[in-house]
Amino acid sequence: MYGNGQAPIFILKDGTQRTRGRTAQSNNIAAAKAVADAVRSTLGPKGMDKMLVDSMGDVVITNDGATILKEMDIEHPAAKMIIEVAKTQEQHCFDGTTSAVILSGELLKRSEDLIEQNVHPTVICEGFRLAAERAIGLMESHGISTENDDAVLQEVAKTALTGKSAGAVKSFMADICVRAVNAVGVVEEGDRMVDLSDIKVEKRQGGSIKDSSLIDGILLDKERVHAGMPRSVSGAKIALVNSAIEVKKTEVDAKIQITDPNQLALFLEEEENYIRNLVNTIEKAGANVLVCQKGIDELAQHYLSKKGIFAIRRAKKSDMEALAKATGGTIITNLEDMSGDDLGEASRVEEKKIGDSDMTFITGCPEAKSVSVLLRGGTEHVVDEIRRAFDDAVGVVSVAWEDGAVLTGGGSVLAALSRDLRTYAETVGGREQMAIEAFASALEIIPRTLAENAGLDPVTTLIELRKAHADGQGHAGINVYEGGVVDMKEGNVVEPLRVVEQAIQSATETAIMILRIDDVISSKGVPMGDGMGDGMGDFQM
């Protein structure tokens, strides 16, 4: 900075980089587009997978947008903002992360064209805001009710699973997802709620995906503490204990002096009696299964096995809470206060060998509001990807169950909204009209990408799609398997309304935020870019 022809005055410290005006905007937009391009090929049933290798050499193979962006080592600040879109989408809707990121990139690409035509960024932002509000307002008219319709929920799960590793067994996995959500979903004062923490997921390699199962109770990654205990118990009465079944240690350092061998024998006998009394208390309450959150003394294990009580130690707190919900039991802190009313119930508790380790199945819980899912797969990488696919599928089923409405997929709703927005743009006028039209064109990036990833001609397919919507086929979407355009409602391709709504909202807000930046000051030496000629120059992958 110069003051009245004097020597320059340096306000920023040495080494600070500053990028302003059009250069700053084009660099930020280029970074955002590069992130969108990185995940674009994973979209849809014909999307490809990415192999990500971290600095430790660990390998992740996935086509889940949120996982890909989380694993990538991205440096550019604008690119990090696009990753926030994926994180938000994953947290709120469980699916649609790739769509949200691609939409953000396309909105910025279209806005760049407008900036070159000397449309001011604030005008573009206002147009985008108007378009997003209009699109979300129109969306409900395209909704299909899911209330008490398990068939529609299953189709939602199948759509989420299509294109993932679990796609080959999507009907099987969709059934597990819907049964799990129906088991834990509650309706309170007309509000429908699903707490996904009530669906406990365990994964084990070995076997095939078809060996996965839903357990109407709780699955514990634990085995009985003593080989002499029964392997299975029918008509289980379960004691949930939060204190250790062992001799209590003093809070302060204490020294006991023993001068006579008989005193030592009495001392040990007293310890034994204390342990025996604890076990007798458990038996008197009527328990034949014990789940302890803390340790169980070896002597206590012996007495428990003598009485035929099935015992597990060091159970996780989350498992204890899930068991209390599933079996109707109460978690007991003081064993002396335990009674038969505190016990949970299950028709069967059984230890089974799954893969290389033993697991405990607690099934047949009469009032179960907590269930478990055991996922199987041939290798560790397969099981991990099945877990990610299951989390997405059960998440979107829960969202559809709560909202009671879904939209047709295959780019059909976005094509319909794009058409509606073009009509709306004509009524707005001014330069905002150009931004709304750009927004309408940006929405078509999803059907275009679906066509590209399926090996179809994107231009021809998009023209066919527009014509179908002009002819009144409101649910027309892209057939990625055979080409052309088909009715997505008849094809049972559906996704939750919330997924599309959140994708449009978060993509618009992020695009607006990046467009409003005209000055980037970096004191950390973060590369601000040189226009990113290769499309990937400003962030590391």
Write out the catalytic residue numbers. 64, 97-98, 392
146 in Cβ contact with 404 (< 8 Å): yes
Q: Name the phi and psi angles at 539, rounded to 5.
A: -145, 150
Residue 284 class from Cβ within 10 Å (0-12 exposed, 13-18 middle, 19+ buried)?
Answer: exposed
SS in 3 state form for 180-231?
HHHHHCEEECCEEECCHHHEEEEEEEECCHHHCEEECEEEECCCCCCCCCCC
In the chain, the amino acid numbered 269 is: E
Dihedral, 339, 341, 344, 345 alpha carbons, nearest 10: 120
CA 86 vs CA 33, 65, 244: distances in Å: 14, 7, 44
Cα–Cα distance for residue pair 362/134, rounded to 1 Å: 50
| Residue 364, both tokens | 């047949």
The answer to whether 313 and 296 are in contact (CB under 8 A) is: yes
> Which tokens belong to 308?
């035929």
CB-CB contact of 435 with 131 (8 Å): yes
